[in-house]
Amino acid sequence: MHRFVSDERVPLRLIPRLLACALAVFLAQPGNCEKTEKSPDLQGPDLAAEIDHLLGVRQESLSSPESSLQVFARFDGVIRGLVQVEDFETALKLGEKCKELFPKEMRSLALLGWVQGLSGKIEESIETLRASLEGGGDLLPDPDGRYRTEAGTNLAAFLIEAGQYQKAVEHLETIREQNPQLGLPHYLAGLACQQIGDPLGCAKAYAAAFQADESMATSDDYLRYAWANDKLNRKKKSEEALGKAAARFPMTPGVHLNLGLSAEARNATVEAYCEYQMEILVSGEDSPYTERAHSRIDRIQERAGVSPFAEDLPLQVLRYLKFRAIIKDGQDKDGAIQEKADKLLQRIESNENLNYPYIKYLRLERVVERGQFDEAVVALEELVKKYPGQILFEMELAKAYAQIGESTKSSALLENALLTYPHHWKVREVLGPSPRTTEGDQ
């Protein structure tokens, strides 16, 4: 039985966001900076004037190879800048104008094909990029072949977007062999191999991708790598991939979903239960993840209810959460329910399950409520360091900081939360409702 269940993984994300950062990734490679072709950083009226100027360039003004290269560099810089701000409509106009000026040049065709794909014109993009690989370089040379590599990589990405996964894998083979230091081709190959059900190809591609540039990895990349290693019965590598996903992307519901599925498949019921609970906390009650997570939690609790172990942790947590709901509804007038909840939480902690982030969250949430702020700060700082970006821990730490006079640290956490997850229920619980919260935005 496979421990990693692939049919409930997060859906395949679209490629354009990855390609939108291709310039930064590509020029970060050694030797990929052309100072002579660097375009000015234009904004506002200057940018509008530059766009108008470029749209008005005439063929006869390209009197020499030097002037051709200079004009193309201006097109290239402005188009890539427009892509960064997702102004694909203007970028496409400039790309078409650039092709008009340089109709048979590989670099102009490659630039247009890239923009066409990002604009949603996938089939046109594939056709243009294929033509670019047959194009020349008399006016716009590519002596080291890096622009041809970029064009080929973009072609593979849009083949994936069009569902032509096998063609993408075949197309990327040569690019990866010739450019092992580039991460993007390996990531695309791993994605395509996963889509055609090739776990060995997927695992090899992602291993090369992480070696080339692991900073590019998304949570989906780690999940696909875990899937591949699971299919190959590489238990340790699959678990390591899921662990990295949890550490780098603690606010991604699909990560906790797959950690839970993996744990359940190897009969680690308590671990699975805690991951499903984290999935709910991370995604919020209105998320489609939450409904399915509740059904898995109910299944575990039903099994626990008929087991000979009457004090099984899932049942203890279930009772604790019921107590907490009563308290939050203001029905605990004399504090008796809170006393029962605290005793039950102590029993949960005594089960040596504090290694699970969910149990740690339950405990430290209550530590903050009891006013034990110094203890909370020490524990929460460690957790925030271990799980950077985990809003659940960061918001509790912000509350604790505020209570011990560390207002600067508290404000920094709150400001970051507003930038990254402004409508998450935990952020709104601490800061109050936002205008969009009333519309059900979590």
Mean pLDDT of the chain: 85
Per-residue pLDDT at 39: 46
Q: Find out if CATH 1.10.10.10 is the number for domain 6-251.
A: no
Q: State the helix-helix crossing angle for 106-118 and 146-161, rounded to 10 degrees.
A: 30
Give Dmax over CA atoms of the chain in angstroms.
89
The answer to whether the beta carbons of residues 223 and 10 sit under 8 Å apart is yes
Handedness of CA 127, 130, 136, 140 (dihedral sign): positive
Residues whose CB is less than 8 angstroms from the CB of residue 127 and which lie 6 or more positions away in sequence, other chains included: 113
The pLDDT confidence band at residue 65, using thresholds 50, 70 and 90, is confident
Model pLDDT for residues 228-241, shown as the tens digit of each residue: 999 999 989 999 99
Of the pLDDT bands very low, low, confident and very high (cuts 50, 70, 90), residue 330 is confident
Asked whether 158 and 192 are in contact (CB, 8 A), the reply is no
What CA–CA distance (Å, rounded) separates 142 from 88?
A: 25
At 202, list the tokens.
């997927």
pLDDT given at position 24 = 39
Burial zone of 173 (CB within 10 Å; 0-12 exposed, 13-18 middle, 19+ buried): middle
Asked if 421 and 391 touch (Cβ cutoff 8 Å), the reply is yes
Are 377 and 399 within 8 A, CB to CB? no
Q: What is the pLDDT of residues 380-437, one digit of tens each?
A: 999 999 888 999 999 999 999 999 999 999 999 999 999 999 999 999 999 887 554 4
Give domain limits for the chain: 6-251, 252-364, 371-442
Confidence of residue 317 (pLDDT cuts 50, 70, 90): confident
Task: Write down the pLDDT at residue 21.
Answer: 46
pLDDT band, residue 378 (cuts 50/70/90): very high
Q: How far apart are CA 277 and CA 259, in angstroms?
A: 11
pLDDT at 266: 84
What is the C-alpha to C-alpha distance for residues 61 and 68, in angstroms, rounded to an integer? 9
Q: What is the pLDDT of residue 392?
A: 95
What are the pLDDT digits (tens) for 12-33? 444 544 454 444 334 444 433 3
Structure tokens at 372: 């034990």
User: Encoding tokens for residue 432?
Assistant: 């109050």
Q: Tens of pLDDT along 168-206? A: 999 999 999 999 999 999 999 999 999 999 999 999 999
Q: What distance lies between CA 290 and its chain's CA centroid?
A: 19
Mutual angle of helices 336-350 and 313-328, in 10-degree steps: 150
> 81-91 pLDDT, tens per residue?
898 888 999 99
Per-residue model confidence (pLDDT) at position 43: 61
- Cα 27 to Cα 389: distance, rounded to the nearest angstrom: 28
* CATH fold for domain 371-442: 1.25.40
pLDDT > 60? residue 36:
no
What is the distance between the alpha carbons of residues 345 and 312, in angstroms, rounded to a whole number? 13
Note whether 354 and 340 are within 8 A (CB).
no
Report pLDDT for 288: 85
